[in-house]
Amino acid sequence: MLLDTPSLYFRAFFGIPESIKAPDGSPVNAVRGLIDMIATLVRRHSPTALAATMDADWRPAFRVAAIPTYKAHRVAHGNTEEVPAALVPQIAVINEVLDALGIARPESPGYEADDVIGTLTHQAGDGAVDIVTGDRDLFQLVDDARPVRVLYTARGIRNLQIVDEAFVTAKYGVPGRCYADFATLRGDPSDGLPGVPGVGEKTAAALITRFGSLDALLEALDSGVTDGFPAGSRTRLATARDYLDAAPAVVKVAPDAPLPPADLTLPAKPRDPEALVRLADRYGLDSPLNRLLDALGR
């Protein structure tokens, strides 16, 4: 089980009142929420391995170089992400709690958590993988043959949507493993990805279904093929040709981000019990940590 940890702690922060505070008055809503999320996931899905993946770089230089608008609307200053002030100190606490528990939190310099997930999924070979996220970008990794699924958190951690190839096909009208190509054409305003102007979901789905992949579509476009292009789309695609060359580097998650060796085994007991007790006392985390430790122990 691979957790898109930033996606989860942002969800916890906005889903749980900031009035949830530590004994010293500091907010711990995101910390408590994430701990309870992990407890629920472990209890319901019983993974044998677990990684809480992290962003070492939320806006990697190679993606910005390809598409300068990538996440630009979320920049606070410089290359710093706009994060609520009450969440910032909680991220450090989350890291301390995960380390004391012994839950791996892999990251890779210059890459996002999505890329770490893509790399760990690739490294798992034929093993089954569940990816927990609220980010549709990771739908590109679904693979029924292994299987690789996304446990999508849009409806909450207790009401997860199971995203497999059939879900992608039913939802977007494209072959299950073609989500990245579809998203490249359609674009994604939440990430500052413009897409091809005038090509919406229906046209993007029709193009990918007709040609099978973005590469095959571009080959047809460049070779002068006219059949199979919905009305007006061929001109729009030709106008956006430079974008279509650059965008795949932004949309596709890396399968080969450099990662140090890590033990992803689900911990049956805390790695550092004394540190965990100190954190529980300081931040008032006894109840959620006890729920998580009970789930891990089982």
For the stretch 35-62, pLDDT in tens is 999 999 999 999 999 999 999 999 999 9
Q: What is the CA radius of gyration of the chain?
A: 21
Asked if residue 76 has pLDDT above 90, the reply is: no
Instruction: Please give the average per-residue pLDDT across 239-249, as a whole number.
Output: 96
- What average pLDDT does range 135-150 have in this prediction? 96
Nearest Cα to 284, choosing from 97, 86, 41, 84?
A: 97
Mean pLDDT of 218-231: 93
Classify strands 161-163 and 75-77 as parallel, antiparallel or unpaired.
unpaired
DSSP 131: E
For residue 72, the number of C-alpha atoms closer than 13 Å in the C-beta half-sphere is 11
Task: State CA 41 to chain mean position distance.
Answer: 16
What does the pLDDT average to over 199-227? 95
CATH architecture assigned to 179-251: Orthogonal Bundle (1.10)
C-alpha torsion sign, points 279, 282, 288, 289? positive
* CATH 3.40.50.1010-classified regions of the chain: 2-172+254-293
Q: How far is CA 266 from the centre of its chain?
A: 20
Supply the pLDDT for residue 77.
Answer: 85
pLDDT at 298: 86
- Please tell me the distance from the alpha carbon of residue 160 to that of residue 156, in angstroms, as a whole number: 6
Measured between alpha carbons, how far is 128 from 296 in angstroms, rounded to an integer? 20
2-172+254-293: CATH class: alpha beta
Q: Would you tell me how many other CB atoms lie within 10 Å of the CB of residue 42?
A: 21
* Average pLDDT of the chain to the nearest whole number: 96
pLDDT reported for residue 87: 97
Token pair in block for residue 31: 């910390």
Q: Which residues of 271-280 are buried (b: 16+ CB within 10 A; e: fewer)?
A: eeeeebeebb
153-182: pLDDT as tens digits: 999 999 999 999 999 999 999 999 999 999
Residues carrying CATH 1.10.150.20, the chain? 179-251
How far from chain centre, in Å, is Cα 192? Answer: 16
pLDDT of amino acid 98: 98
Q: With 90 as the cut, is the pLDDT of residue 31 above it?
A: yes
78, pLDDT greater than 90? no
Q: Is 27 left (phi over 0), alpha (psi -120 to 50) or beta?
A: beta
**8 Å CB contact between 83 and 76:** yes
